[in-house]
Amino acid sequence: MATRPIIRFPDPRLRRKAEPIGDVDDEVRTLADDLTETMRAAPGIGITAPHIGILKRLVVIQLETDPEPHIYIDPDIVWASADAIRHVEGSVSMPGVTDELERSAKVRVRYRALDGSMREEEAEGLMAVCLQHEIDQLDGIFWIDRLSKLKRDRLIKRFEKLQRIEVR
């Protein structure tokens, strides 16, 4: 396992659609391991291959209560509930800033597991929020794109200020 560099906003790769992986091989398993290590080091609870500049459809999520990370290869949301929840979100590619977003309270996701099998999983609450957030990323939708223009502009200015302070 290796920790890989995380690309930072406004890198254009964060807004590009990731390509399907298809067959699961040792290269994909190594990428999943590296993403897990990178996410933990960030620290974060979710990460995608595009966060490290690899435009492939791979997601790793590990909530505080999870003993092991959840790995989703080529995930797609096949159903989302009409009822919504609000949750504070952020990104490993835009550290130091967060804002509240509204998302579906429950989702069903179809994906390939590390063993290559196709699976479906239902999630609710924080896990549902994380899945929607990370699958958006795979689709080239950076989380701030879901904010109003005013909130997005304010958040970008706050992030830019944090970056200037970090450089000093």
Classify 113 as helix, strand or coil: coil
Instruction: Give, as one character, the DSSP assignment of residue 72.
Output: E
Tokens of 159: 């992030």
Which of 122, 124, 134, 166 does the annotation list as catalytic? Answer: 134
> Is 134 one of the annotated active-site residues of the chain?
yes
Please state, as a whole number, how many other Cβ atoms lie within 10 Å of the Cβ of residue 93.
23
Classify 139 as helix, strand or coil: coil
Tokens of 25: 């091989």
Q: How far is CA 160 from CA 1, 8, 50, 154, in A?
A: 31, 11, 21, 10
Q: Could you list the active site residues?
A: 134
